[in-house]
Amino acid sequence: MAQKNLRHVAIVMDGNGRWATKQGLSRIEGHRQGVLVVKKIIESCVKNKISYLSLFTFSHENWSRPKEEVNFLMELFMASLNQELEMLCAQGIRLRFLGSRDGLTPQLVQEINQAEEKTKPNDVLNLNLALNYTGKWDILNATKKCLEQGLSSTHLDSAKFESYLSTHGLPDPDLMIRTSGEQRISNFFLWQLAYTELYFTDTLWPDFNAQAFEEALNYYFSRERRFGKTSQQLREDNNV
């Protein structure tokens, strides 16, 4: 499948807990199964020559979950980094973590920094993990940086502001996928999703597979992306 106009896919991976409940398992087992799905989607992105994959991994609001679940998630992040880093390097995958490092353990921050540095030369797929992230935090953090730099309103435009976002240097997502049937973006990439095509599926994340991912891609290719323009204007642009 040609991916000339599909560079960046963002995913809200939702439904691990509900999947586990349906299976009579603990929520922790749902998260463990969810990691296996991430591997499959990474493989599908490489196969389809998608350059950027962003995953909403852990939001600020997730800290309010039961302590046992939060602790497990943090341990799972570290274990996954240790176990999968060599494989990611072998596949040419670059890791980038988006979000605040505040609240993360020093050990996890060290693992994150090392993973980013080790995978920095890779260019087959840019895998962005939004960890301890929300869209509101991203915008507020960028605003604070602008003020700290002493930027005046006359020197601030969209391009300059975007350079202070955690996603600086990344293209905006072309497609956002959310699993589990919820139809909202839940404080994810609020600035970056302005013209993104949104795809919602009832499939719970642990049941999301390569075929389900292909269906989402097919939906994207069926859409006419207008970016605020009319169909006539798009046709005129394409004829230039």
Query: What positions carry a catalytic annotation?
Result: 14, 62
Please name the amino acid found at residue 184.
Answer: R
Query: Side by side, which strands form the sheet with 175-178?
Result: 93-98, 125-133, 52-59, 8-12, 175-178, 197-200
Spatial distance between the Cα atoms of 174 and 217, rounded to a whole number of angstroms? 10
The token pair at 22 is 């349906």
Task: Report helix, strand or coil for 206.
Answer: helix
Please state, in angstroms and rounded to a whole number, the distance separating the CA atoms of residues 17 and 223: 31
Closest CA to 175 of 124, 213, 128, 118: 213
Q: Is the dihedral of CA 165, 170, 176, 178 positive or negative?
A: negative
Q: Are 29 and 23 in contact (CB under 8 A)?
A: yes
**Is there a contact between 41 and 85 (Cβ–Cβ < 8 Å)?**
no
